[in-house]
Amino acid sequence: MGKNHRMKNALPVLFLFLACAQPDNKAPNPAQVLASGTWTDLSHAFSDATLYWPNNKTGFHLDTLFNGTTPGGFYYSSYQFCAPEHGGTHLDAPIHFAAGRWTSDQIPVERMQGEAIVIDVSEKALKNRDYLVSQEDFSTWEAQHGKIADDIIVLLHTGYGQFYPDRLKYFGTEQKGEQAVAELHFPGLDPAAAEWLVKNRKIKAIGLDTPSIDYGQSKDFKSHQVLLDKNILVFENIARVDRLPVTGSYVVALPMKIEGGSGGPLRIVAWVGK
């Protein structure tokens, strides 16, 4: 049996264990469960250095409304920010590429959390900026760890997260503007592999450490179309995925709840039991 089967539903199993250990089978204390593991922040901070698609006219801006001592003698700070939906660590809501699908505020909370697996393609991707994660990569992973379980969150480790926020190393170009889009070179998911996933597996979401689930040279963003049409969430520009085990992590991905939004800034974290 693959390791992902052994680790599947790690949190429910821990809760069940604790429940059995409690007098009169009382419900376990969630704090006890979570204290038994460690958290990893998979999000890049938002700042002037945050990377956005080259043709975005604006990036992240934080303006100071007040920072200092008030007339009343106490310290107070307050800011306002402005940013596009898609940039930095962020969510692609299904409506982004699929008419009639979920907007950011319509996504059920349970779809934004769950068991996660990591598929490491970094050795191949770092040798080829235009690498496409293939069905073979998924089959190779399953041969070692067992079939990808239902309702799993898939995280792709390409190795490019280490370059963020170096625009040249991460995007493949330092240029900005519409003309720079044609110069983008970074790995992504092969549309054929996306088709295989939606037809043969039942995943909740997929994320990766590059600017887009489609590779930089994509013209039709087909992987976006395929995944989002099935209400499969996409997380882009995730950080530190290399710190997670292949199986056994539990991911919570909570984006800004923008009414009618096609995506938004994302705080995504992963819990790993000891």
CATH code where residue 227 lies: 3.50.30.50
pLDDT of residue 30: 81
Q: For residue 80, is it within any domain?
A: no
pLDDT of residue 5: 43
Q: For residue 65, is it within any domain?
A: no
Q: For residue 5, is it within any domain?
A: no
> How far is residue 127's CA from residue 175's CA, in Å, rounded to a whole number?
22
pLDDT of residue 4: 41
Strands, E assignment, the chain: 37-41, 61-69, 75-82, 90-92, 113-120, 132-133, 152-157, 188-189, 203-208, 233-236, 249-255, 263-273
Cα angle value 168/172/176 (rounded, 5°): 70
Q: For residue 73, is it within any domain?
A: no
The count of structural domains within the chain is 1
Q: How far is CA 50 from the centre of its chain?
A: 16
Q: For residue 131, is it within any domain?
A: yes
* Structure confidence by residue, pLDDT tens digits, 23-43: 566 777 888 888 889 999 999
- Per the structure, the complete domain to which residue 92 belongs is given by 39-46+85-273
Q: For residue 173, is it within any domain?
A: yes
pLDDT of residue 32: 82
Q: For residue 164, is it within any domain?
A: yes
Helix axes 135-145, 191-200, angle to 10 degrees: 50
Torsion angle in degrees (nearest 10) through CA of 200, 95, 165, 129:
40
* Structure confidence by residue, pLDDT tens digits, 117-133: 999 999 999 999 999 99
Q: For residue 192, is it within any domain?
A: yes
Could you read off the pLDDT tens digit of each residue along the chain, which spans 274 residues? 344 444 444 555 455 444 444 556 677 788 888 888 999 999 999 999 999 999 999 999 999 999 999 999 999 999 999 999 999 999 999 999 999 999 999 999 999 999 999 999 999 999 999 999 999 999 999 999 999 999 999 999 999 999 999 999 999 999 999 999 999 999 999 999 999 999 999 999 999 999 999 999 999 999 999 999 999 999 999 999 999 999 999 999 999 999 999 999 999 999 999 8
Helix axes 222-229, 191-200, angle to 10 degrees: 10
